[in-house]
Amino acid sequence: MNDKWITEAAHGYGNTIRVTKELFRTKSDFQTIEIYETEKLGKLLLLDGIIQLTSYDEFAYQEMMAHLPCQLHAAPERALVIGGGDGGVLRELGRHSELKTLDICEIDAAVIDAAKRFLPELACGFDDPRVTVHIADGSRFVAEHENTYDVIIVDSTDPGGPGAPLFGEKFYRDLKRALRPGGVIATQSESPWLLPDVVKNLNRAAKAVFRFVGYAGFQVPTYPTGMIGACVATDARDVTAPCREVAPELAAQLRYYTAEIHRASFAQPAFLRELLT
């Protein structure tokens, strides 16, 4: 914190946000957790100095990570979130009344505790009675739950931290085994502007395991480069278009995801198509 500005600086790139107050800081067994009030963007959550979300634009990330895979499954009943300790993806999954079970596996209980204290607009996802919280390593949890879930969402931190085991082909094979027939995954897959090798390798790992794979890019202004992506994969159908209509009651609650945005997020500039070939 320098003159009330916070800078995420990693991978040769930086993003700077003016803050007005430090709300929370702790070092857990896994990472440093910080929450600030900002001048323009509401609250800011950082893990090991990396921006995880701001109140200003968190809805874009949470909605796309949750609704891309859910709208690709004809009738999902059981969902799992790996990571996502802020509760935002759970909040979005909770808007799907057809889901009967919402499991979350988060390695760091301190993230959940901090979110419940300082980010209630996201942590409200934990209030859903369908939610069961598992404090455990996500890669091990998935490997132990074969043929269990219809939708799995991997809301991981960047590679190199606690999320490092979630960025390899073995993990994708375990994800597939954890799915029931027709199941769909969506994994946080970085920005091709910032980490092109990570994007390429994740796409390659998914293609080695699943029949249908796509990289969906979407805007999150407070992430470095302003873009992030999800690797969406299934054996059931083409991932580039939803397989069912967005229910009117769901659509009325959303600010980013639409059926049109679902399709458009898979449209790729030439450099990205080449990267993923």
Q: Are residues 48 and 63 in the same domain?
A: no
- Show the CA angle centred on residue 273, arms to residues 210 and 208, nearest 5°: 20
Cα 39 to Cα 55, 155, 189, distances in angstroms: 11, 27, 29
**Residue 155 structural domain:** 58-276
pTM value is 0.95
Q: Are residues 35 and 76 in the same domain?
A: no
Please report how many Cα atoms fall inside a 13 Å half-sphere around the Cα of residue 133, on the Cβ side.
20
180 within 8 A of 149, measured Cβ to Cβ: yes
pLDDT of residue 174: 97
pLDDT of residue 126: 98
User: Which of 132, 163, 161, 162 has its CA nearest to residue 148?
Assistant: 132
- Positions marked catalytic: 155
Q: Which range has the worst mean pLDDT, 12-16, 165-169, 207-211? A: 165-169
Q: Which range has the worst mean pLDDT, 70-84, 113-127, 155-169, 256-270? A: 155-169
Interval 153-208: pLDDT, tens: 999 877 656 556 666 789 999 999 999 999 999 999 999 999 999 999 999 999 99
CATH of the domain at 28: 2.30.140.10
Amino acid letter, 156: S
Q: Are residues 20 and 131 in the same domain?
A: no
Cα 58 to Cα 11, 69, 253, distances in angstroms: 22, 18, 14
Q: Is 75 helix (H, G, I), strand (E, B) or coil?
A: coil
Q: Are residues 90 and 47 in the same domain?
A: no
Domain count, the chain: 2
> What average pLDDT does this structure show over 223-245?
97
CATH of the domain at 125: 3.40.50.150
How do beta strands 131-135 and 101-106 pair? parallel
Q: Are residues 10 and 120 in the same domain?
A: no
Q: Are residues 148 and 206 in the same domain?
A: yes
Q: Are residues 17 and 62 in the same domain?
A: no
Q: Are residues 205 and 141 in the same domain?
A: yes
87 within 8 A of 52, measured Cβ to Cβ: no
Q: What is the average pLDDT score of the chain?
A: 95
78 within 8 A of 150, measured Cβ to Cβ: yes
Q: Are residues 12 and 120 in the same domain?
A: no
Q: Are residues 73 and 209 in the same domain?
A: yes
Q: Are residues 165 and 180 in the same domain?
A: yes
User: Which of 63, 64, 57 has its CA nearest to residue 266?
Assistant: 64
Q: Are residues 174 and 200 in the same domain?
A: yes
